Each structure stands twice: as C-alpha cells, then as structure tokens.
Amino acid sequence: MSTSLQPIRVLILYYSYSGQSSVLVRRLATGLGDQGAVVHQERICPLHPLRFPLGSIFKTIRLMLTTFFRRRHPIQPLEVGEGEPWDLVILGGPTWSWNASGPILRLLDTYPQLFRGRPVLALISCRGYWSTHWHYLRRRLTRMGATPLGPLVFDHPQAEPWRTLGVFFKIAGIAPERSSSPLSRFYRHFGHTPEQFEAAQQLGRRLATHLKAGSIPPDFKYIP
C-alpha cells in the first residue's frame, strides 16, 4: 500500500458491451478521484468488435450459447505496463451466460501478471445472476496468486420475467423500452438506475478511504 506521501494508485481494467459497466466504472473512478486516488482506466477492446445491438435473435442465441461454454474473445494488446506499482486492480464487466464475458476470459488467460500478487476487486454488471461468475473469478484470481476482493454487484432492478426478456430483446435489437413496443408497459428502462450509478461513486470514495488507511476490509462488498 502507498504511504501517506504517495497517492493511492488504482488500475481499472474493464469490458463493457452495452455500456452499463462503462458508466459504473466511470462513477467508481470519479469517487476514487474525489478522495485523491490516481486512477488508470483501460477498456478491454475485442480484436473483432461486437456490434451492439447484435441485430438478430439468431445471433443473440448464438452469442449466449458460445459464452455458456466460456468461449474466449481475442482482445487488442493492453496499453498498461506490467510492472507498475498498483495498490489495487479493479476488474469490471458484465455477466455473460453465468460467466465472465469472452474478452475478460481472454484477459485473464493472457495477462496473469497484471493480477498476480495484487488485491483485485471485482465489479460485476448483470441482469440478476452473478454468483457463478463471481465464484469463477475468485477461483481464477486465487490460482494466479491474486487476492480477490468484493464483489461489487449491480443488477438490473426491473421485475422478472421482464428484465430477462428485456435484456434478450435489447441485445437482439428490438428496443423493448421504446414506447412503440408492446413490452414497454412492463419494461420501461434498460440497465441500471441513476441511484445505482450514484452508489458506484460513493463506493469509489469509501474504497479510497480504506486504501489510504492501509487495507480494504474483507467484507467490502456491494450485493443486491
């Protein structure tokens, strides 16, 4: 950890397909910055970018099926160097078919040295089913010599079955929240709420305070 003379340094590595994790990460980083932390954010970019929305039900089912089997998505090389002295690494991104997303799986395969020997806090954006994703991340991080922390989990707070249907149709390109859609009566909004984004910023502030004090408590979690 940094001494009181040095700023806290946090590396955030994240992937976001439909923009939700991006906003969460931005707000978390703002909260960390409010408390004087130096934050380097790097978005993981697939080598072959995935269009959002995919534009067809067939492509949506195919992506869900392949991610169920933990298909890796090749990624572009990272800009961040391997030997930098981070006090904390934050690994953020969506749940895909009960798993980490394909680009994050490839990141873990390719850059274990960014995690090894460091505390790594997981941030998960999901519709509602995140626990298998978290258990997998925790296992992988532990095996590569990192200390997994968290998770910080943000779900979509809409009622079922609409949130599941809503996400499926949104990815397929049929905007279910649009007033012309018959689903809009039940599904008014895709993704997280402004209150959840505000909570991410507050978590960033608390996190920086813990880091300045020397360590993050093992019960530092945010779970719906």
Ligand X SMILES: Cc1cc2nc3c(=O)[nH]c(=O)nc-3n(C[C@H](O)[C@H](O)[C@H](O)COP(=O)(O)O)c2cc1C
Report yes or no: 184 and 219 within 8 Å, Cβ to Cβ.
no
Residue 97 touches ligand X, criterion: CB under 6 A:
yes
**DSSP code at position 129:** -
Report yes or no: 151 and 141 within 8 Å, Cβ to Cβ.
no
Residue 187 touches ligand X, criterion: CB under 6 A:
no
Residue 171 touches ligand X, criterion: CB under 6 A:
yes
- Residue 34 identity (one-letter amino acid): D
Residue 136 touches ligand X, criterion: CB under 6 A:
no
Burial classification of residue 143, based on how many CB atoms lie within 10 Å of its CB (0-12 exposed, 13-18 middle, 19 or more buried): exposed
Residue 17 touches ligand X, criterion: CB under 6 A:
yes
- 119, 166, 191, 204: which one contacts ligand X (CB under 6 A)? 191
- 11, 20, 151, 172: which one contacts ligand X (CB under 6 A)? 20
Q: Least distance (Å) from ligand X to the CB of residue 198?
A: 17
E-assigned strands of 15-65?
Answer: 38-43
Annotate each residue in 56-75 with x if it binds ligand X (CB under 6 A) or - if it does not, as one string: -------xx--x--------
What DSSP line would sit under 171-185, residue for residue?
HHT--TTSTTSGGGG
Q: Least distance (Å) from ligand X to the CB of residue 224?
A: 10
Most distant pair of Cα atoms in the chain: their distance? 58
- 128, 173, 186, 212: which one contacts ligand X (CB under 6 A)? 128
The site that binds ligand X (CB under 6 A) totals a number of residues, namely 23
- Beta-sheet pairing, 88-96 with 99-100: antiparallel
Pick between residue 84 and residue 160 the one whose CB is nearest to ligand X: 160
Tell me which residues touch ligand X (CB under 6 A).
16-21, 63-64, 67, 94-98, 125-130, 167, 171, 191
